[in-house]
A and B are shown apart, each in its own frame.
Chain A
C-alpha cells in the first residue's frame, strides 16, 4: 500500500514537472542518522543490545513548484535506539503529503501536522528526541476569506508508531485579527480565536454508556499594546471515559484548562507573569489512556533549562490536574559602573511553582463525584518549585561568563509516575558557571562547572565540561558527571563522555563515547524515561 502511494506520488511529481514549466521547481530535504552501540555496564545498570548497534535514521524530501508542495519522510529503525519505544521497528514511509494553494484556499491531502491555539485541545507534532510523532493522515483545508480572518478545518486519523489510532479526528479553528479584519487603526491589537476538536470511536462497551463523539473546544484572546502583551486560552473537554468495564475505571467528568500570561517588555527590561490550571485535560486519539494516543499539549509552566544539572529534575505537566504559576524577569544593567562594566550585564530571575489540585482532578461516575476548587495552593501537594537567578556578562572581547544559582523542589513520585511515598520530594541547590574564552580568531574554549547538592533522589552531583571549538569546522568536548553524593557507595560513579564533531557546509558529523545515566528527558513538559547506556554514538545531519 505504502509502495503504491509513494509510486503514485513520485509519478505525479514527474508529470507535474513536465506540464507546468513556468514556475521553477525545487527539491529540498534533510537527513538525520543516530547510531549508538550498547555495552553492558552493571555498575550503571546499562544493558547490552543483542544487535550491539542500534540505529534511527530519517530522510525528508520536499518538492515545491509554485503553489504546489509535496513531500515524504522515510524512517528507518534497525532496530530503534534503546530510549525509543519498541514499536518503532523496521523501515517505512509513514509521512507523505501533497498540498496546493489557489485563490487563498490551501488544500492538503495525506499527512500533516496541525495545532489549535496553544495546543490545549489539539496538537499534532513530531519530536524525534521524545519519540513522539502523532502526525495526522487525512484532509486539511485552510482559507482566509477576508483580511485578518483565518479559517481551517481538518479530518484524519492520528499516527501511532507505524499505524494509525482507531479514532477519527475532526477539527476546526477560526482566528480573527480584529484590527486587520475591521480595518481598525489602533495602538491596541486584538486577536481572538476559537477552536473545536472531536473524536469519533464506536461504542462497543456492553456495560457502560460511552460517548462515541468526544468533543473539546477552546477560546483564546491575545491583546497587544506597546510593550504589553496579554495571552489567554480556556479549553473544555466533554465527557471522555476510557471505556473500562469497571465503574471506577470510567471517569465521565468534563476536563478543562486555563492558560494566562501577561508580558511587559521594553529595551533592557522584560517581565512575564503566567499561570495555568489543568484539570482532567488529556485528549487522545483513542479512548484508552495510553501515552501513544495523546494528541493535545499542555506546556509546562517552568523554565526550560539547558544546563545538565539544572535539567536533571525537570517538571512534567500533569494533565490530570495541576495548578502552576511562573514569573520571569529580565533586566540588563547598562554599560558603565561597577555592575554594568564595559558591555552591560544581563540578569534573568525566574520563579515557578506547580501544585496538585484540591483533592485531585475532576471525577464523575455513578458512585462518586469530585470537582476541585478553582484556586487552591496552600496545603496542596507540591509537584515542582524552581527559583533561579542567571547572570550573563561579557568581561572583555575574549571572555564571556554565565553564572546561575537555583533551588529546586522535585516531587519524584508524582513527576516520574512512581509509587507514592517511594522517593518523596528531592530538594536541590544548583550552581553553574559557564566561561567562554576566545583564544584567537576561530578558536574558542568553553568550560562548564556545575554543582548540584541534593537531599533525596540520587544525592549530589558535580559536573565539568570542556569544549574546544575551531570554527567553522571542528568541535571537541569532554565532560564528566560525578554522582559523589549517592547514598549507595557503589553508585558513586563517574559518567564520562567524549564527543567530537565536524561541520562542513550542510553536513555535520559527530562521534562520541561515554556513559549516560538513567533519567528523565523533557521538552516543554512532555517527558520520557531514558535508560542508562554505555557505548559509542554517531550522529550525521545533512540537508540540501
Chain B
C-alpha cells in the first residue's frame, strides 16, 4: 500500500506542472469563427464600473481585447454604478471626477444582479448563470464568451435609425430563425463612447481617459410579442421615437434628485458618439439570447 501512495504522489509531482516560456503572446489574427449566415450569435458584455475604481480600467481593457479579437460579435456596455466608486467628487475637489455617469437603469440592474455589492469591477456575459453564477470577474469573461459563441442563434436583430435634430426614430426588426416557444423581452438602450473625462487607473488620476460604451438610457423593455410561440421566418418590428434632450434631462434630474451624492452633472451628450443597443432576453432565465448594436446616426 505504501508503494502505491508513494508512486501516486511521485507521479503527481513529476507530471503536474507546466512551465511556460516566453514569448507568451501568440500571434493571432481575428479568431472569429467564420459564419456566412445573415445572423450570427452576438454577445453582450455588461461591465459594471466606476470612475474612481482603480481596477476598473483593466476590465475595460479586457473588454476591448475581447472585442478586438472577436470583432462585431462582441458588444460592450459600461454601467457606472455605486456610491463608493461612481459618485462625483464634491465641488471642492474639482476638476477631478465631477461627472456623474450613473443612471437609473444601471442602479436597477446592479441591484437586481448584485454586482457592485461584492466589489468592482464585475460583469456579466449575456447574463448567463443567473441567479448564482452570473457575476464574473474580468478574467472569467473570455471563457464564457467562447462557450456563448458556440450557441445556435434563434433570433436575428437589425436596427435602423433616422435622426432629425434631437428627434430619433429607431426601428428594431427581429427575425425569428427557428420555431421556438418562450417568454422573451426586447430591450433597447442608448450608449455613448469616446467620452473624455477623469478615471482612476491604478494609482493614477487620468484626466483624459476615454470612456466607451457608457449606458445612457433605457428606451424600452417590453415583451417581444404577445404570444409565446414564435414561428421560423416571422418578423417582428418595433419602432421607438425618442427625443434625446428629454432623456438627457432625465439623467440630469436623476443625478440631482435621486442618485446618492449626485450633482446633476450628467448631460453633455454627443449624438455622434452614441449607439443603439438592442437585445432579447429570456424572462425566466434572464439569459440574453441575441444582441445588436448600431450607431445612432448611421
Contact = CB atoms under 8 A, between A and B. Distances in A.
Contacts of A170: 12, 16
B165 interface: no
A245 B17 contact: no
A287 B137 CA distance: 11
Interface string A365-377: 1100000000000
Contacts of B26: 206-209
Contact of A211 (B20, B69, B117): B20
A215 B17 contact: yes
B94 interface: no
B143 interface: yes
B13 interface: yes
B132 A161 contact: yes
B2 A289 contact: no
B132 A143 contact: no
A163 B16 CA distance: 24
Given A86-B117, A151-B6, A172-B9, A249 B61 contact: yes
A151 B137 contact: no
Interface-centre pick from A206, A217, A250 (highest chain B CB count, 10 A): A206
B120 to A, nearest CB: 11
A103 B4 CA distance: 14
Interface stretch (A196-204, A328-336, A452-460): A196-204
Interface string A273-303: 0000000000000111110000000000000
Interface in A132-158: 141, 143, 145, 151, 153
Interface in A234-254: 238-239, 241-250, 252
A366 B142 contact: no
B118 A86 contact: yes
B20 A204 contact: no
Contacts, number: 146
Interface residues of chain A: helix, strand, loop or mixed (majority): loop
A482 to B, nearest CB: 25
A206 B62 contact: no
A177 interface: no
Interface-centre pick from B69, B139, B200 (highest chain A CB count, 10 A): B139
B160 interface: no
Contacts of B66: 245
Contact of B17 (A103, A213, A287, A420): A213
Interface-centre pick from A143, A245, A286 (highest chain B CB count, 10 A): A245
B131 A213 contact: no
Contacts of A210: 20
Contact of A366 (B1, B25, B61): B25
Contact of B139 (A151, A207, A288): A288
B28 interface: yes
Interface in A399-434: 417, 419-421
Interface in B135-155: 135-140, 142-143, 146
Contact of B9 (A153, A207, A243): A153
B194 to A, nearest CB: 20
Interface in B45-91: 52-54, 58, 61-62, 65-66, 69
A174 interface: yes
B20 A209 contact: yes
A351 B6 CA distance: 43
A290 B17 CA distance: 22
A100 B234 CA distance: 62
Nearest to A197: B16
Contacts of B25: 207-209, 247, 366
A349 interface: no
Nearest to A142: B5
A259 interface: no
A265 interface: no
A210 B8 CA distance: 25
B62 A249 contact: yes
Given A196-B13, A245-B65, A85 B54 contact: no
A245 B12 contact: no
Contact of A207 (B69, B135, B202): B69
Contacts of B2: 143, 145, 151
Contact of B58 (A198, A206, A249): A249
Contacts of A200: 16
B18 A245 contact: no
Contacts of B31: 206
A115 interface: no
Contacts of B119: 417
A86 B143 CA distance: 23
A156 B5 CA distance: 16
B58 A366 contact: no
A105 interface: yes
Contacts of A229: none
A252 B16 contact: no
A287 B18 CA distance: 14
Contact of A244 (B15, B65, B203): B65
A72 interface: no
B114 interface: yes
Interface string A70-99: 000000000000000111010000000000
A420 B138 contact: no
Nearest to B68: A245
Nearest to B65: A245
A196 B22 contact: no
A86 to B, nearest CB: 4
Given A89-B132, A143-B1, A214-B18, A420 B24 contact: no
Contacts of A205: 142
B9 to A, nearest CB: 4
B132 A163 contact: yes
A212 interface: yes
A87 B17 contact: no
Nearest to A161: B132
Given A198-B17, A210-B20, A246-B61, A87 B132 contact: yes
B58 A246 contact: yes
A257 B119 CA distance: 27
A217 to B, nearest CB: 8
A252 B139 contact: no
Contact of B19 (A141, A172, A238): A238
A153 B12 CA distance: 9
B255 to A, nearest CB: 19
Interface-centre pick from B13, B31, B52, B117 (highest chain A CB count, 10 A): B13
26 contacts: A151-B2, A151-B5, A153-B12, A162-B132, A170-B16, A198-B16, A206-B26, A206-B31, A209-B24, A209-B25, A211-B20, A213-B16, A215-B17, A239-B18, A239-B19, A244-B138, A245-B69, A246-B65, A248-B58, A288-B137, A288-B140, A290-B140, A365-B24, A366-B24, A419-B52, A420-B54
- The 10 A-B residue pairs with the shortest CB-CB distance, nearest first, are A215-B17, A198-B16, A145-B2, A288-B139, A245-B65, A211-B18, A172-B9, A86-B114, A290-B137, A420-B203
Given A87-B135, A204-B143, A417-B119, 6 more contacts: A145-B2, A163-B133, A207-B69, A212-B18, A214-B17, A366-B24
Interface of B: 1-2, 5-6, 8-9, 12-13, 15-20, 22-26, 28, 31, 52-54, 58, 61-62, 65-66, 69, 114, 117-119, 131-133, 135-140, 142-143, 146, 200, 202-203
